[in-house]
Structure 1
Amino acid sequence: MFMSRWVSRLTTAVAAPLAGAATLVALTGCSLEYREDICMSDEYPVLTVNGTGSACVSKGEQPPAGYVRYPEGKVPQQVDDKWDVYWRTHTLDKDGDIIDAPEAG
């Protein structure tokens, strides 16, 4: 009898949190996806001129030689977001114009 009461309490203690987690997943539509930021909060991303390389620069500092800021409104914020994916196949030339990225080779 003692053992069955213990099993019952253990089952209840385990089942309640699992039911809560299942409800949360159902209500959020399984959108508990983690998205990694491109840069730290005190940095901003920069793009390699004529290439698809990128780096993060401390806010208040200028991009290093060979890098430029992304055009306003086209700055990637998180890995695999719309602009991160876009800049994998596009880049900026020395005049700041958007061009197709050169083929890797």
Structure 2
Amino acid sequence: MITPRNNRRAASGSWPGKARIAAVSASAVAALALTGCAGWEYQENICSSGEYPVLSVGSTGSACVSDEEQPSAGYARYPEGKVPQEVGDKWDVYWETHTLDKDGKIVDVP
């Protein structure tokens, strides 16, 4: 008896070219979606462009002042080298528990 020749691939065979490309693409998209662009983290600046941060004297409050202005009464510039740049950075966290007294000395928050 003659067995008819089947030109179609068996179900367990390799995927045709287009199906393989689609499967690889779908896997790459899924991996990217699941990792959520790990390593790329948004950092919010303390102040907008053209402003600098100032500290409330005697408390942990802060504000932003235009580069062309001086701090208003009750506020002072942060000590040099201890200015927070981004929300949650080293100095932003530090100034949550420290402040300046009326003489400009760094003190623990009362």
Structure 1 or 2: more helix by fraction: 1
Using the size of structure 2 for normalisation, the TM-score is 0.70
Alignment gaps of 5+ in structure 1: 1-6
Instruction: Give the alignment's Cα RMSD to 1 decimal.
Output: 3.1
1:67 counterpart residue number: 75
Distance 1:31 1:25 in 2: 9
2:29 counterpart residue number: 18
1:32-62 deviation line (CA, Å, top 9, x unaligned): 1111100001100000000000000000200
Alignment gaps of 5+ in structure 2: 1-17
Distance 1:98 1:82 in 2: 16
* Residue in structure 2 matching 1:97, options 74, 92, 105: 105
SS at match of 1:84: helix
User: Identity of aligned pairs, percent?
Assistant: 63
Query: Highest Rg: 1 or 2?
Result: 2
Aligned length: 93
